[in-house]
Amino acid sequence: MCAAGCAFHWYRESEQAGEVGRIEFGQGVDKEDGMYPEELRYTAEHEWVRSEADGTVVFGITSFAQEALGDIVYVTMPAVGESLAAGAACGEVESTKSVSEIYSPLDGVVISRNEALDSTPESINSSPYGAGWLVTMAPSDPAQFANLLSAAQYAEITLKG
């Protein structure tokens, strides 16, 4: 149980393509585990987004996504200066299981990318909300951030599988 009284446990369910992780929540998002930090926003495509004090945003893939992918071995990210459109593919994450696209959560321009992932892509697995961040961008419409999913809304999506 987390400090807020929420139940959290991980279980697996079988599907034709193999085992798929699924999260079951009781009263809310587990704050101790940090599976879905409440200060972040989320997309249905499994990206997390953090708004910075200077108006920029940082994004990466969620813990749910990295767990489903397995061991990440390579990542491609957009170039600095590249314009991104919300919902458009802007990179890829390659794991020992598959290759998945990364989608831009907002419209904007890339101002930095996590160059450390070129040599340590496994940081996405070990620290998806920390050292595993992907891109910092300057959003063209900061109001789009408010339209992203809350932690609780994202948790509901992951429950639906």
DSSP state string for 6-52:
--EEEEEEEETTEEEEEEEESSS--TTTTSS-TTSEE-TTSEEEEE-
Tokens of 149: 């999913």
Predicted model pTM = 0.78
The predicted structure's pLDDT at residue 161: 60
Tokens (6 digits) for 8: 């959290």
With H, G, I as helix, E, B as strand and everything else as coil, classify residue 155. helix
- Residues 6+ away with beta carbon under 8 Å from 130: none
Joined together, the tokens standing for residue 87 give: 């919902």
Q: How far, in Å, CA of 27 to CA of 152, rounded?
A: 10
Residue-wise pLDDT tens for the chain (161 aa)?
222 222 222 222 223 333 333 333 332 344 334 478 999 999 999 999 999 999 999 999 999 999 999 999 999 999 999 999 999 999 999 999 999 999 999 999 999 999 999 999 999 999 999 999 999 999 999 999 999 999 999 999 988 76
* Nearest partner of 35 among 57, 67, 3, judged by Cα: 67
**Which pLDDT score, from 0 to 100, does residue 23 have?**
31
CATH code of domain 39-149 = 2.40.50.100
Alpha carbon 32 to chain centroid distance?
A: 18
